[in-house]
Amino acid sequence: MTGRRLMIYGNWSAYDELSDGVPLTEELAMRQFGELLRLRACGVRFDAYLMDAFWFDPAGGYRSWRKPNWPDGPARWLDACRANEIIPGLWFTANTLCHIEPATAWLDSADEDRWGLCCFQGGFLDDYLDVLDYWYLQGIRIFKIDFASFTAAPPSLKSRMSVIEIRHRNIEAFRNGLAQFRESHPEAILMAFNGFESVEYMDRTDRPLQEVMDLRWLEVFDSIYSGDPRPADLPTTSFWRSVDIYGDHMTRVLEYSGVPLRKIDNCGFMAGPTGTCYRRRKALWQGMLLLTLARGGNLTVLYGDLSLFDDDDAQWIATVLDLFSTKFNGNEAKSFGGIPGKGQPYGWVVGQSLCVVVNPGPEVSKVLVPSGDWQIAFSDSGFKPYFEDGLLTIGPFQIAFLSHCHISLGVQSDFESAVMAQADFKVIEHTASRQVIESQSGELSVFVRQLNQGGDLVRTYSGAHSAAEALQISAFQGDVPCATELHTDRVVWSGMSWASADITGIGPTPVRITVSCSDLTVSQLEVEIWCRSLQDAVTPP
């Protein structure tokens, strides 16, 4: 695929059977189909509908749909796709038994723990390709392939072959099988998800850029995904902006590895009420959409619950999609600036006439953007970005959308970028897991990162509990608690290495701040305190 961007609706996070208890049902899927048609009537282009995980009968070998959630199988959905010229897509595992039982033909390929399936011995791969062919004949054209495990092999093979050899032969067999499938199914679109990376990289953003992908996968896949949305390892004053920075950083990792931006599915837009997207609903959704489009993938998936977006939202989405569609066709997106995970300002430019700039740090920054007749069309509220001497001045943790068109898309009102300066403070008590700090008064932002003995960040996985229970921040003036807004007070399935809080309504006396963590692997807490102001420098000088 080249040139025209394919806009795909994915229904994951409208439901969630991994991080939540919301099941996929025919009723839910068709309700989202109705919302898709409503948004499309408002001008939002959708080319495809991707049915994500758990549509299948666990005992059906990917050939039958789960009952009673789909009593008549997919007929109603497929008919609706055909009637409305929507391309249907389905989710499959690669060679793992994720919530599915092995079909009879797969048994002699299974590893000892019945999780992975060998691709070069036994009947699995031939039957798997028959499954893809079966659904292609039913009209499926997009195949999302997830959870690969290329060290899988039956015990008889593991006893005489090295892990390296097993992995090599599994990869070769699976890639060759997909290549044959593509050759005989020319309209098929294949999307690679978890397990196809050669180096694990999706859990951290504080490491140096490294090559993580075997580029031979590009011979068979139309897109390589860069990781499910999760917070980056940079403290911010918005949990959601941290998730945006994560998407930017992981896209840069794949770009550094040699994957063209047009082939990267950045998986950046996920709006919904479920645990997989941390119950984001549609918080900061406008910036999330702009970044998703600016990263430049030919396949762009908008995941979530479309009922969250009213008709006014739909018209805004349609305007932005039209802007990017005009500039994207035939043009590559390009990255510029620093590394997102290092807190350095950076951005994306499309067609030399659309640009999104991000400041992932707590200070006002000046950014050199690609030359052009730029107009600021959109930004977060609070600080007002401006141009001076060819440099864009942008506020803390802020994004700005630039265009050569004279267009105004307003401001993102659910995040305010405030001018910040480092506050004076002194540590009163200090242990590996607790600090008590006395700071000057004012509107404060507190950032805490947790490190191990070697100075590396520690990402705490708190299960079903809020991340704020694992890494806590509280503030008092005397015996009176201060108003404290914790930005990490939510269940985070992907773990957190930091916490932040805004402390407001502070009187003239010093503030005593306590930070503490419950993770026993943490040896050091790194604390920064910043004074905030929405009044200073919200307009250019």
Render pLDDT for 212-237 as a digit per residue (tens, 0 to 9).
999 999 999 999 999 999 999 999 99
Pairwise CA distance, residues 254 & 122, whole Å: 33
Mean pLDDT (the chain, rounded): 95
Residues 178-194: tens digit of each pLDDT: 999 999 999 999 999 99
- 3-state class percentages of the chain: helix first, strand second, coil last, to nearest 5: 25, 30, 45
Q: Looking at residues 249-271, what average pLDDT do you find? A: 97
Span(s) in the chain for CATH 2.60.40.1780 = 420-533
Rounded CA separation 490/503 (Å): 18
Number of other residues whose CB lies within 10 A of the CB of residue 427? 10
Residue 377's Cβ-count burial label (10 Å; 0-12, 13-18, 19+) is buried
So what's the pLDDT on residue 166?
98
Q: What is the pTM of this model?
A: 0.96
With residue 325 as reference, give the H or E element that holds it. helix 311-328
pLDDT higher than threshold 90 for residue 41: yes
First-to-last C-alpha distance (Å) of the chain: 47
Residue 390: band (very low, low, confident or very high) from pLDDT cuts 50, 70, 90: confident
| CATH superfamily of the 6-331 domain | Aldolase class I (3.20.20.70)
pLDDT band at 405 (very low <50, low <70, confident <90, very high): confident
Share of the chain above pLDDT 70, in %: 97
pLDDT (0 to 100) of residue 458: 96
Q: Which residue has the higher pLDDT, 440 or 330?
A: 440
Q: State residue 497's pLDDT score.
A: 97
C-alpha pair distances (Å), 348 with each of 207, 271, 295, 335, 413: 21, 22, 6, 5, 22
Q: What pLDDT score does 329 carry?
A: 63
Q: What is the pLDDT of residues 440-459, one digit of tens each?
A: 878 999 999 999 999 999 99
pLDDT at 541 over 70: no
Asked, as a colleague might, if the bond just before 235 is cis with ω within 30 of 0, I would say no
Contact 348, 296 (CB under 8 A): yes
CA atoms within 13 A on the CB side of 96: 16
Tell me the average pLDDT across 395-404. 97
Residues forming CATH 3.20.20.70 domain(s) in the chain: 6-331
- Determine the pLDDT at residue 535: 52
Q: Is the pLDDT of residue 331 over 80?
A: no
pLDDT of 536 reads 47
List, for residues 476-520, the tens digit of each pLDDT value. 999 999 999 999 999 999 999 999 999 987 888 899 999 999 999
> Can you give the pLDDT at residue 1?
43
Lookup: tokens for 246: 């994560």
Residue 2: pLDDT over 70:
no
The confidence score (pLDDT) of residue 247 equals 98
| Average confidence (pLDDT) over 352-381 | 96
Average pLDDT over residues 73-102: 98
Amino acid found at 369: V
Strand partners, 411: 379
Alpha carbons 183 and 181: distance in angstroms, whole number? 5
Indicate the pLDDT class of residue 330, thresholds 50, 70 and 90.
low
pLDDT band at 351 (very low <50, low <70, confident <90, very high): confident
Fold held by 420-533: Immunoglobulin-like (2.60.40)
> What's the CATH number for 336-417?
2.60.40
